[in-house]
Amino acid sequence: MLIAIPLLLIPVVLYNIVVLFGGSGGGAVVQADALLRDPLFSITMTSGAQWTIGSGDLILFLGLILLFFELVKSTSSQRVAIINHALSMILFIAVLVEFLLLPGFATSTFFLIVIMILLDVLAGFIVTIISSRKDFDFGT
């Protein structure tokens, strides 16, 4: 039953941890944005340029990888996939509310996470509709 839990919940939880427990005082949006952009480490490129990577970048990277696995999971026609679609929709509503109503969540990083979850929801429903249409066509 754990397969029904949306994987994109992981970047949402990580973002919540960074924003809610990462700083103190100040403007919530500015502070959240600064926390996410603070360099954790940097990599020297062949060109000599420094590529700095912050916690927001790592959360987005993880989110993109998990989005791939969610899209692969959405092609399944098992009953658990329907539960996954429903939970993904609930997760989308929750992150949309966070994005619109909570000041620390009005950042570009969180907006991209919201869009990833929206794509997961849309892909799940579209794949389900297309596969059920194929099943219906073969049945007649």
List pLDDT tens digits, range 97-138: 999 998 889 889 999 999 999 999 999 888 877 876 665 555
Instruction: Give the model's pLDDT for residue 82.
Output: 83
Q: What's the predicted TM-score (pTM) here? A: 0.85
Q: Are 104 and 31 in contact (CB under 8 A)?
A: yes
Number of domains in the chain: 1
Most confident stretch, 16-25, 41-50, 75-84: 41-50
**1 has a pLDDT exceeding 80:** no
Burial class (CB in 10 A: 0-12, 13-18, 19+), 18: buried
pLDDT tier, 18 (very low <50, low <70, confident <90, very high otherwise): confident
Instruction: Give the model's pLDDT for residue 140.
Output: 53
Residue 72 placed within a domain: yes
**139 has a pLDDT exceeding 60:** no
Cα separation, 113 vs 100, in Å, equals: 13
**16 has a pLDDT exceeding 60:** yes
Residue 97 placed within a domain: yes
Q: pLDDT tens digit string along 30-65?
A: 788 888 888 999 999 999 999 999 999 999 999 999
Phi/psi of residue 26, each to 5°? Answer: 75, 180
Among residues 92, 77, 115, 98, the alpha carbon closest in space to that of 6 is found at 92
Residue 21 placed within a domain: no
**Which residue is listed with tokens 């809610």?**
20
Residue 138 placed within a domain: no
Phi/psi of residue 76, each to 5°? Answer: -75, 145
Instruction: Pinpoint the alpha helices (H) of the chain.
Output: 9-21, 28-37, 55-74, 79-101, 108-139
Instruction: Give the model's pLDDT for residue 47.
Output: 94
The token pair that represents 94 in the structure block: 């929750």
Q: Are 113 and 30 in contact (CB under 8 A)?
A: no
For residue 75, the enclosing domain spans 8-15+50-132
